[in-house]
Structure 1
Amino acid sequence: MPACHARQITVSAADRHRLETLARSHAAGYQQVIRARIVRDAARGHSNAAIARRHQVTVDTVRRWRGRYADEGMAGLTDRPRSGRPPRLTPVQIAEVKALACQLPAETGTPLSKWNCPDLAREVAARGIAETISPATIRRILAADTIKPWRHQSWIFIRDPDFATRATRVLNLYQRVFDGRPLGDDEYVISADEKTSIQARCRCHPTLPPGTGRAMRVNHEYDRGGALAYLAAYDVHRAHVIGLCHDTTGITPFTDLVDEVMTREPYASARRVFWIVDNGSSHRGQTAIDRLRRRYPNAVMIHTPVHASWLNQIEIYFSIVQRKVVTPNDFTSLDQVQYRLAAFEQRYNATARPFRWKFTPTDLTDLLARIERHERKDPHPEQHADCQHQPAAHAQAA
């Protein structure tokens, strides 16, 4: 009988790179790694027997995967489709599990705030939907439709009757437009607010820096060193921050911030400076608008809608401060807090670029249209009748 010859393997450059990557992988499945190594060695001219000894497999295994690659390429290294074990749950049972996961536990009489997989598994068995079912099976069923009942998002009712008008005005300013006209080069947009109650927590033991296999360690116990308020004004289009610290918030601290900005150039000689603020007590209503105009005739105060501070870009800067400066809170005194905040301002202003604000007036129109459609479909509007404020619409403040 003629001797059997090993199949000749020709590997393209792209396949060679994929095989090398897979052969060295520590994350891929063991079987996939072995198959890639077999084909790689075969392409280098090694015999089936030598490859089998090297990887401690049988010659038949080497011959199989060598032949599969020769016939089908990289696709041949995957497993063939198998029938597998017959499903234990019917499509109706699977649909009932998903429907249960999409119900609030309180609606089913279960004393839980939200579902997780073990709780759902117990509830499925208790209701007789399935005799037994594991939490892992529940997770696989829900993953098919990306249902995650253990997660939640917050949203808030729109209370401001002029929400659309006010929000559009703010969004237009971000695009350098006011009352339908583009802003000039001598007009600026300032986003301002206060970050309250920044504490000085002096840890009872020194913070340990990170090391090999160890994260930074911050002692849980601390002595309180007081708290302060950080007021900041952010030039939306120049990406420049001006801030100061006060013992508390109020009209006087906010006026100090305005003075700090408006006495500097280019704002002192600007034609108009728009101040975007929320509805906090230190700058609320027409009184605050008139107070600012009397003090600085070229300043125009623009309020965001009620409960819409997410439209104020200074909140993005405050989130950066929270992550990079305040957390973890380990300060020996309030003087150290003030120094750190001032030093960070200089560092930020040296390299900052304007935020890539993507929420436009068109997006706002689409959002309000979706809210209106949702409310028309709400089958139980009376559920919200006991709320203190009965709104006309609601939105997710993401």
Structure 2
Amino acid sequence: MGDNRLKPLVLSEAERLTLQGWARRRTTAQGLASRARIVLACAEGGSNMAVAGGLRIHRKTVARRRSRFLADRLDGLSDEPRPGAPRTITDAQVEEVVVRPLEAAPEGATHWSKRELARQVGISPAGVLRIWRAFGLQPWRTQDFKISPDPLLIDKIRDVVGLYLAPPAGAAVFAVDEKPQIQAVERSTPVLPMLPGTPERRSFDYIRHGTVDLFAALNTATGKVIGRLSARHRAIDFRNFLDEIDRQTEPGLAVHVICDNLSTRKAPAVHRWLLAHPRFVLHFTPTYASWINQVERWFAELQRCCLDRGVFCSLDALTAALERWIKVWNDNARPFQWTKSADQIVDRICRYCGRISKPAR
């Protein structure tokens, strides 16, 4: 009887489809996926040495998998019995640990904990956690989402992303928004500085000394920011901020302003101002889609670097800190790089809508 390792390996269509499905696995059954890739490579006619080099594994591993597949076909790729203590968790218990969190919540609670489910199934909490990890389940986590109901969603995405990826010649593009009611917060006790082995410590209670609104316009090409502080964010304040952008932008350039759908953007005072300044064009982001406005990314940097750990004993101190941080940013300005095309964004939204639109279990 000949050596199976020397025989050509030919797959039926059903075997090929099954092996391709196994080979695509990433989070579970990594060993089975690796064996499937070895058999598929062998079926293409490669020698054991060539397959081993392509997959970066030992030649003897390829020979062993080829031989076992030729002898037992798909059954030859399954795990062989191993020495050691017998399993204490049955297949039925594994199924219950996986299915229960997917189909129903425990009585009187919103989600399963590992200890509660362990009591119900009759295994240890550590066993429940191992099974959840194997199947990618995380019942303790939750995420928020909001799909924009804007009827012009796709058109607005293409408009805004087009300004990021292919800005018009002879024009300046600004991403504009305001950060309202920034609080001048003073901690009730002095902040204790960081020490080796001890993080900075601050009291949880605070004294509030008022609020201020910040209008910001991020130049998407240079990364520089035009900022203006205001006590309020009315339509007239937005109009005055447009005046500030007009003063700080070269006269010969057209100005494209990306902003949200707040009512102050469409007030009569702003409309009259736009008629008097024809070089300005407003581009509105989709409803509930502030993520597409690049200035929001700049606000996140402002919050992280200046406001989260800032202590301001007065409104003047907060104002001075904001102006100083904007100046420091502009001295080392860098633009944010937009990488997703409009088609990629729309495709991802469509895929997500398809997932959440399926019938409930």
Instruction: State the alpha-carbon separation in 2 of the partners of residues 300 and 257 from structure 1.
Output: 15
Q: CA deviation at 1:367?
A: 1.9
Aligned residue for 1:85? 85
CA contact (8 A) 1:233 1:241 kept: yes
Give the TM-score of the pair, scaled to structure 1.
0.66
Provide closer, same or farther for how the CA distance between residues 368 and 210 of structure 1 changes in structure 2, counting only shifts above 3 A: closer
Amino acid at match of 1:367: R
The reply on whether 1:224 has 2:208 as its aligned counterpart is yes
Alignment of structure 1 residues 89-128 onto 2, 5 Å: 89-103=89-103, 105=105, 110-122=107-119, 125=120
The reply on whether 1:142 has 2:126 as its aligned counterpart is no
Instruction: State the alpha-carbon separation in 2 of the partners of residues 319 and 172 from structure 1.
Output: 23
Give the TM-score of the pair, scaled to structure 2.
0.73
* SS class of match (1:119): helix
* SS class of match (2:199): coil
Q: CA deviation at 1:257?
A: 1.6
Provide closer, same or farther for how the CA distance between residues 368 and 82 of structure 1 changes in structure 2, counting only shifts above 3 A: closer
Stretch deviating more after TM superposition (134-143 or 92-101) = 92-101
Amino acid at match of 1:233: A
Q: CA deviation at 1:211?
A: 0.8
Q: CA deviation at 1:115?
A: 2.8
Instruction: State the alpha-carbon separation in 1 of the partners of residues 87 and 220 from structure 2.
Output: 58
Q: Which runs of 5+ in 2 are unaligned?
A: 1-80
The reply on whether 1:173 has 2:163 as its aligned counterpart is yes
Name the Cα RMSD after superposition.
2.2
Instruction: State the alpha-carbon separation in 2 of the partners of residues 356 and 115 from structure 1.
Output: 41
Aligned residue for 1:62? none
Quick one: percent identity of the two aligned structures? 31
Q: CA deviation at 1:329?
A: 4.1
* SS class of match (2:178): strand
Q: Which runs of 5+ in 1 are unaligned?
A: 1-80, 178-182, 384-398
Could you tell me which of 203, 224, 238 is aligned with 1:254?
238
Aligned residue for 1:269? 252
* SS class of match (1:144): helix
How many equivalent residue pairs?
Answer: 281
1:152-175 deviations in whole A, cap 9, x for unaligned? Answer: 111113211111111111111111
Instruction: State the alpha-carbon separation in 1 of the partners of residues 258 and 147 from structure 2.
Output: 22
The reply on whether 1:244 has 2:241 as its aligned counterpart is no
Alignment of structure 1 residues 186-335 onto 2, 5 Å: 186-266=170-250, 268-270=251-253, 272-284=254-266, 290-335=271-316
* SS class of match (2:351): helix
CA contact (8 A) 1:166 1:303 kept: yes
**Larger Rg over CA atoms:** 1
* SS class of match (2:147): strand
Q: CA deviation at 1:192?
A: 0.6
CA contact (8 A) 1:229 1:245 kept: yes
CA contact (8 A) 1:232 1:242 kept: yes
Instruction: State the alpha-carbon separation in 2 of the partners of residues 204 and 374 from structure 1.
Output: 48
Could you tell me which of 334, 347, 354 is aligned with 1:373?
354
Q: CA deviation at 1:148?
A: 0.9
CA contact (8 A) 1:289 1:301 kept: no
Amino acid at match of 1:171: V
* SS class of match (2:256): strand
Provide closer, same or farther for how the CA distance between residues 157 and 85 of structure 1 changes in structure 2, counting only shifts above 3 A: same
Aligned residue for 1:55? none
Q: CA deviation at 1:82?
A: 6.4
* SS class of match (1:374): helix
